[in-house]
Structure 1
Amino acid sequence: MTEELTTSTPEIVVENVSKRYKTAAGETTPALADVSLRVESGEFVTVIGPSGCGKTTLVRLIGGLETPTSGRLRTNGTPITGPGPDRAMVFQEYHLFPWLTVRENVEFGLVEQDIDESERADRVAEMLDLVGLSDRADAYPSELSGGMKQRVGLARALAVDPAVLLMDEPFGSVDAQTRRHLRGELLDIWAETGKTVLFVTHDIEEAVALSDRVLVLNGSPGWVRDRIRIDLDRPRDRTDDAFIEQTERLLERIDANER
């Protein structure tokens, strides 16, 4: 299944991608089957689907952490052959370096890119201000709440100024109230920076609250069952009838996947 071509170059293109993993016994297990999608520059697209349908595999392929068994992946017209500074990943687990301060964690990618020290300092200060953690710059991860740790991870990803943010259930490890706050902060950052976001979640309301479009994966191996545009003004009220209607529509598609 291939989406219609657009006149501009999409930020992400996945064409007929399949992925199989080798087992310890030497057999292969399929994870994705003939998946195609396009994400436009500045778009917020969320991937949902039942467990085991390949959502994380898809994000890792786009991030260059995995290679497809067949098919092609491109970012801004360039083939994806591995990780690159144009794509940054934020995971459910925080993956912060416990021996580094908040400032040093955010700075890490800039050091790897050999950015000038003065420019690094300015960039880190800007990112910490963006995620509201300027006052915790000298704290260590052990001194932070779960929500703060995830904001540090987001700041670290944004510091290298990627065109694309790949987010694999980034709010799955925090409580419901913190999750709502982080959603709002993410939308504010997305609006301010204009980044392209590909977001994975199991939370249907979260998908409706955040997305321009939702990609529904089905089955194992995963394939694209549906693409649904969320035509609701932001900010979105989950008690609004249109919001509830969109949520129920997505739930029906997920339920259909599981039959």
Structure 2
Amino acid sequence: MTEAASDRQRRWKDRMPPDRAWKPRAGISREARASEQDRAAGSRLARAVDLGEGRYARASIALRLYRRTRRIRAYLRWSQEGETQERYVGEVDAETRAANLAQAWEMAHAAGLVTTEAVPPESWASSAASRAVMSANKGRDTKPEKLLRSALHRQGLRYRVGARPLPGLRRTADVVFTKARVAVFVDGCYWHGCPEHHRPAKKGAVFWQEKIAGNRARDAETNEALRNAGWLVIRVWEHEDPEQAARAVVKAVKSRQETGPVDQS
């Protein structure tokens, strides 16, 4: 038995692993599940099972709690010729689901169960990870934006989409409540340097560090400019639960509708 395996056995010897260590969030969408797997693996392309002849299947990690032994086991799952395939990866022992997924992906790569798809020769990206990030990037109408807008709409709020809060300021908010002066931005974890999920690029590290730092500085400037004009700025990370984020936005909008925005001009 390896030292790591021995440590895992000791970790849960006297207590049951908490739900947050393995259980997925209730009501999580298929798109959010895929994003969760992408973050844990390092990129979408790092979730590849090589089927041969240049063909790949996109795999996922499933975490299962075995209550009798107090163990969390990770399994690799993918579809091949219409049939679901599954391979045991190993036991994981972190305190959170995100950390256990990342741990399981590392084990799957180390065991050769998965690989990272090669960047096509015609691609301009410097690496598979960069290509995956760039391909997934959209200027507007991203999945997290749509989920948040849907949640706000169900709460009875009406808003403008992709609008400039201040006509003279070249900054576009994802959701704008003009009368209440509330501007909502849904920030991508990679492009805006999420402290929880941002994974720095290994190739062209200096370039990407400067790029992300520039985005964060621009965010701060936008926040300050809008606040000075009497706007309330709300920033939502793409990984946040859209229903929880929507409730915070609704509360802020209704509060400002009742009291009125503060004019600081």
Common fold by TM > 0.5: no
Name the structure, 1 or 2, with higher relative contact order (CA <8 Å, separation 6+): 1
TM-score (norm 2): 0.27
TM-score (norm 1): 0.28
Larger of the two Rg values belongs to structure:
2
